[in-house]
Amino acid sequence: MQNLQLLLHGFQTALTFQNVGAALIGAVLGLIVGAMPGIGSLAGVALLLPLTYKFNPTTAIIMLGALYYSNMYGGSFSAILLNIPGDSPAIMTALDGYPMASKKKRPGQALLTADLSSFIGGSIGICILTFTGPALANLGLKFGPSEMTALLLIAMTSISWLVGENPTKGVVITMFGIILASIGMDTLSGVPRYDFGNMYLLGGIPFTPYIIGAVGFSQVIKLIMERDQGKGGAATDMKLTIRGSMITKHDFRRLLPPALRSGFLGTFIGVLPGAGATTGSFMGYAVQKKMKSEEELGTGAIEGIASCEAANNAAAAGAFAPLLALGIPGSGTGAVLLGGLMMWGLNPGPLLFTNEPDFTWGLIASLFLSNILTLAIAVCVIPFLLKILSVPVKYMIPCITVVCVVGSYSSSYSMYGVLIMFLSGIAGYLLDKNDYPTAPMLLSFVLAPLLESNMRKAFIISGGSLDIFFTRPITCVLMVVFFGVVATPVVKSMMKNKTAGKASK
C-alpha cells in the first residue's frame, strides 16, 4: 500500500510538462534506434547520455529510461518487416513475425501483436518492479555462478526445440555458434583464444554485424529470386491502415496467455545479472514451444511473437530492479544508465529508494507513462511502416543491402564489422540452402559466453568439484529441471515405442 502511495507521488513528478515531453522524445528516439539494425539500446542510451547532462536527474533518467524501454518495441519492426532483427532480443520475433508478415500476408497484425505483447509484458514487469523491486533485486543476488550455469543449461537445451527436422544438423549448428563465440580474449584469464595471430580476431566476432549478416544479408541473397514478384511480398492486397491491421478477438485470445506468462518469466530473467532481454526473449519463446499453440511455432504463429516480445519488454523493466536497488547493472545498457546516475550525483543502492524517492518513484511512474506513449506511437506508425512492404522487391534489395552494410559498420566502427556481416551472410545463405537452421547458431552465440564464464566460475569456487551443482538449493532444483528437460523426449520416445510394440502384437 505504501508503494502505491509512493507510485502516485511518482506520477506527480512524472506528469509534469517537461517530463512527459522527455518521455515522449525518449520513446520516439528509442523506436527509431531500435528499428535501425546495428544500433541497439546500448548505443542509443550512450549517444543520448551527454545530451541529458543539462537536465535535472529525474528528467534525464526519464528520457533515457523511455529510450531504453521503447527500444524493445522498435527492434521488432525490422525483424517483422524485413527479417533483420533491429537488436538481439528481436531474433526470436523474426522467427514467427517475418513468416506471419510475408507468408500469411498479415504484416499489420504481426506488428500489432508485437506492440500489444510488448505492452502487456512491459506492464507486468513495471508492476512487479513497483511492488517488489528491492526484494526482487535481492532474489537476483542469490543467483551465483552455479545457479546461472544451471539456468543457462536449461536455456541451451531448449535450443534443441528450434533445430527443425534434422536434429543432427541442429546440434552441429548450435556447436558452431558456441565455438565462434569462444574466439577472442578469454574473459576470465585474459588469454587470447583462437585469434591465429590476427588482431581483429583478438576482439572476437562482433555480435551485431554477425547477426545482421546471418539473418539480413542472407535474406537479401535469397530475395533476389523473388524480385519479379512485384511488391514486398506481404502488403500487396492489404489495407495500409490501423483499422486494416487490427487483430481479431480470436487473435487476442491467442496472444494473451503467452504474453502474460512471458511477462512474469521475462521480469524474473531481467533481474538476473547478465541475463538481459535476449535471454528473456529466448526463454519466453522456449517455454511457449512446450505449450499448446494453435499454429506451429516458426510458421508465423501469433503465440510465437507474443511470447518473446512480452518477455523482452518485461526483462527490460525487470533490469531496473538490481540497477536501482543494488546499483548492479544487468547489461551493458544498464551500465551506461548507472554511469548516468553517478554523473548526476546519485548513489544507486538500497538507500536510493528512501533517500531519493522523487527520483526513484518518478522513474518507475515514467516507465508506466513510456509504456503507454510507446504503444500509442507504435500503433500509429504501423501504416507508415507497412508502406515499406509496398516497395517492389527489386528496389528493396539494394536498400536492405546498404542498411546491412551501414548498420554493421556503425556497430563496430570498423570495416571488420562489414566483413563479418558479409561472411556470415554467405554462411547463413549456404547453411539455409542446405537445410541447416540458423536460429540455434545465433542463440548459442549469445548464450555461450554467459554459460562458459558462469560454469568456469562455479568450478573455480568449488575447486573443480561437481558438488556445487547439487548442494546449493536453487542450483539443485534447476539441475533437476534441466535433467527433466533432457530426459522428457527420451522417455516420451521410449513410451511411444512401447505403445507401438504392444499395438503391433
Partner 1 sequence: MKKVRTKQVIPLFMAGFAVVFGWVGVFKLGFWNPDQGPAPGFFPSIMAVVMFLTSILAFIQSFKEDGTVKYEKQELLVIASGAGIILSTFIIGLVGSCFLYIILWLKVFEKASWKDTLIILAVVAFIVIGVFGLWLGIQFPLGLMEYIL
Tell me if 425 contacts partner 1 by CB under 8 A. Answer: yes
Tell me if 172 contacts partner 1 by CB under 8 A. Answer: yes
Q: Which of 482, 430, 412 is nearest to 176 (CA)?
A: 430
Residue closer to partner 1 (CB basis): 194 or 252: 194
Q: Which of 184, 179, 206 is nearest to 195 (CA)?
A: 184
Residue with cell 531504453: 68
Residue closer to partner 1 (CB basis): 7 or 223: 223
* Alpha carbon distance 313, 306 (integer Å): 11
Tell me if 452 contacts partner 1 by CB under 8 A. Answer: yes
**What's the Cα-to-Cα distance from 24 to each of 17, 45, 93, 338, 370, rounded to whole Å?**
11, 15, 25, 22, 7
Tell me if 25 contacts partner 1 by CB under 8 A. Answer: no
Hey, which residues between 175 and 194 contact partner 1 (CB under 8 A)? Answer: 175-176, 178-179, 182, 186, 188-189, 191, 193-194
Chain centre distance of CA 300: 18
* Alpha carbon distance 76, 480 (integer Å): 34
Element (H, E) at 128: helix 107-141
Least spacing, CB of residue 74 vs partner 1, in Å: 13
Which three cell numbers mark 285? Answer: 519463446
Which three cell numbers mark 152? Answer: 543457462
Instruction: Kindly give, in sequence order, each residue whose CB lies less than 8 Å from that of residue 360, ignoring residues fewer than 6 positions away.
Output: 10, 324, 352, 353
Binding piece for partner 1, criterion CB under 8 A, among 12-20, 65-73, 223-231, 350-358: 223-231
Q: Which of 132, 134, 151 is nearest to 474 (CA)?
A: 151
Tell me if 413 contacts partner 1 by CB under 8 A. Answer: yes
Q: What is the CA radius of gyration of the chain?
A: 22
Which listed residue (224, 351, 477, 494) binds partner 1 by CB under 8 A? 224
Chain centre distance of CA 15: 29
Contact characters 93-132, partner 1, x per CB under 8 A: ----------------------------------------
Determine how many CB atoms are found less than 10 A away from the CB of residue 357. Answer: 14
Residue closer to partner 1 (CB basis): 332 or 350: 332
Least spacing, CB of residue 365 vs partner 1, in Å: 29
Tell me if 156 contacts partner 1 by CB under 8 A. Answer: no
Residue closer to partner 1 (CB basis): 235 or 306: 235
Residue closer to partner 1 (CB basis): 162 or 259: 162
Tell me if 36 contacts partner 1 by CB under 8 A. Answer: yes
Instruction: Kindly give, in sequence order, each residue whose CB lies less than 8 Å from that of residue 457, ignoring residues fewer than 6 positions away.
Output: 145, 188
Using the 8-state DSSP alphabet, how is residue 213 labeled? I
Q: Which of 164, 116, 127, 161 is nearest to 376 (CA)?
A: 116
Contact characters 459-488, partner 1, x per CB under 8 A: xx--xx------------------------
Residue closer to partner 1 (CB basis): 73 or 368: 73
Least spacing, CB of residue 153 vs partner 1, in Å: 12
**What's the Cα-to-Cα distance from 302 to each of 116, 454, 484, rounded to whole Å?**
11, 34, 28
Binding piece for partner 1, criterion CB under 8 A, among 15-23, 173-181, 253-261, 291-299: 173-181
Tell me if 53 contacts partner 1 by CB under 8 A. Answer: no
* Alpha carbon distance 394, 397 (integer Å): 6
Which three cell numbers mark 300? Answer: 508465423
Which listed residue (1, 199, 225, 490) binds partner 1 by CB under 8 A? 225
Tell me if 39 contacts partner 1 by CB under 8 A. Answer: yes
Cα 33-333-310 angle, rounded to 5 deg: 70
* Alpha carbon distance 44, 93 (integer Å): 21
DSSP string covering 439-457, please?
A: HHHHHHHHHHHHHHHHHHH
Which listed residue (406, 474, 476, 481) binds partner 1 by CB under 8 A? 406
What is the sign, positive or negative, of the torsion defined by CA atoms of 262, 25, 50, 77? Answer: positive
Which listed residue (282, 368, 429, 469) binds partner 1 by CB under 8 A? 429
Which listed residue (264, 436, 469, 482) binds partner 1 by CB under 8 A? 436
* Spatial contact of 361 and 320, defined as CB atoms under 8 Å apart: no
* Spatial contact of 88 and 278, defined as CB atoms under 8 Å apart: yes
Tell me if 239 contacts partner 1 by CB under 8 A. Answer: no
Least spacing, CB of residue 265 vs partner 1, in Å: 27
Tell me if 197 contacts partner 1 by CB under 8 A. Answer: no
Tell me if 354 contacts partner 1 by CB under 8 A. Answer: no
Least spacing, CB of residue 200 vs partner 1, in Å: 14
Least spacing, CB of residue 324 vs partner 1, in Å: 28
Tell me if 229 contacts partner 1 by CB under 8 A. Answer: no
* Contacting residues toward partner 1, per CB under 8 A: 32, 36, 39, 43, 47, 166, 168-169, 171-172, 175-176, 178-179, 182, 186, 188-189, 191, 193-194, 217, 220-222, 224-225, 227, 394-395, 397-399, 401-403, 405-406, 409-410, 413, 415, 418-419, 422, 425-426, 429-431, 433-436, 448, 451-452, 455-456, 459-460, 463-464
